[in-house]
Amino acid sequence: MSATNRTASIERSTRETRVRCRLGLDGGGEPKVDTGIGFLDHLLSSLAFHAGFELELECAGDLQVDDHHSAEDCALALGEALDRALGERAGIARFGAAYAPLDEALARAVVDLSGRPWPEVELGLEREMLGGLSSENVGHVLRSLAIAARCALHVDVLRGANDHHRAEAAFKAVALALRQAVAEAPGGVPSTKGSLGRAG
Ligand SMILES: [Mn+2]
């Protein structure tokens, strides 16, 4: 796997949403995120930027219902793109662990690009909404992302008084952990089983 081909494009269309996602693991640059939900754009842009990912993500969803379908389907598309961009998951670090502060808030994220989906997410948000995003969907986005990307993802917000800060710190910690985990590392597939890919 070369550094130039770790990209994936996903189009996801249902009666609830239409999502287009292009992800590059070695991109960087300014993320272009337009989900229709401002606070979700903010979180996903931050995730991509701090992970060092190139990301274009657009969603036209049924926001007249509520934010749930759009939030979930954007996360699934991003996770699927991550899964595809990783290919056979050879030559990567596989594990990542990071803390991110945002003023008074502190979040921790630990990831294993194991090929198995397992999210554990404790954000401790108390507000009902953050802008146009339901607080319950902040955790739901991280869980959906981990499931579609087939990784173990443990995210805990350890402290923080401001829910905007708590959510943003969580996404930044996930970004930093992912940045480590997708980093190219010498060797083949980093597993004693010999496989982390779809066939594994
Ligand atoms: Mn912010």
The average pLDDT across 107-130 equals 98
Strand runs labelled E in 14-94: 17-24, 32-34, 54-61
Confidence tier at 197 by pLDDT (50, 70, 90): confident
* CB environment 142-174: b (16+ within 10 A), e (fewer): bbbbbbbbbbbbbbbbeebeebbbbbbbbbbbb
What pLDDT, in 10s, does the model give residues 36-73?
Answer: 999 999 999 999 999 999 999 999 999 999 999 999 99
Confidence tier at 198 by pLDDT (50, 70, 90): low
Return mean pLDDT, the chain: 95
Expressed in angstroms and rounded, the spacing between residue 167 Cα and the centre of ligand 1 is: 9
Expressed in angstroms and rounded, the spacing between residue 39 Cα and the centre of ligand 1 is: 8
Expressed in angstroms and rounded, the spacing between residue 130 Cα and the centre of ligand 1 is: 10
- Residue 27 or residue 82, greater confidence: 82
Distant-in-sequence, close-in-space partners of 192: CB < 8 Å, separation ≥ 6: none
Expressed in angstroms and rounded, the spacing between residue 33 Cα and the centre of ligand 1 is: 15
27 contacts 120 by C-beta, under 8 angstroms: no
Q: What is the pLDDT of residue 187?
A: 86
Q: What is the pLDDT of residue 106?
A: 99
**What's the rounded Cα separation, in Å, for the pair 120 and 110?**
10
Torsion of CA 60, 61, 64, 65, to 10 degrees: 180
Expressed in angstroms and rounded, the spacing between residue 122 Cα and the centre of ligand 1 is: 19
Greatest pairwise CA separation for the chain in angstroms: 49
**What's the rounded Cα separation, in Å, for the pair 85 and 79?**
10
Lowest model confidence (mean pLDDT) among 4-8, 109-113, 168-172: 4-8
Expressed in angstroms and rounded, the spacing between residue 62 Cα and the centre of ligand 1 is: 25
What pLDDT, in 10s, does the model give residues 2-35?
Answer: 445 899 999 999 999 999 999 999 987 899 999 9
Q: Are β-strands 32-34 and 54-61 bridged in parallel, bridged antiparallel, or unpaired?
A: parallel
The fraction of the chain above a pLDDT of 90, given in percent, is 89
Give the other-Cβ count within 10 Å of 198's Cβ: 12
Expressed in angstroms and rounded, the spacing between residue 165 Cα and the centre of ligand 1 is: 7
Confidence tier at 124 by pLDDT (50, 70, 90): very high
Q: Which domains does the chain have, with CATH numbers?
A: 7-182 (3.30.230.40)
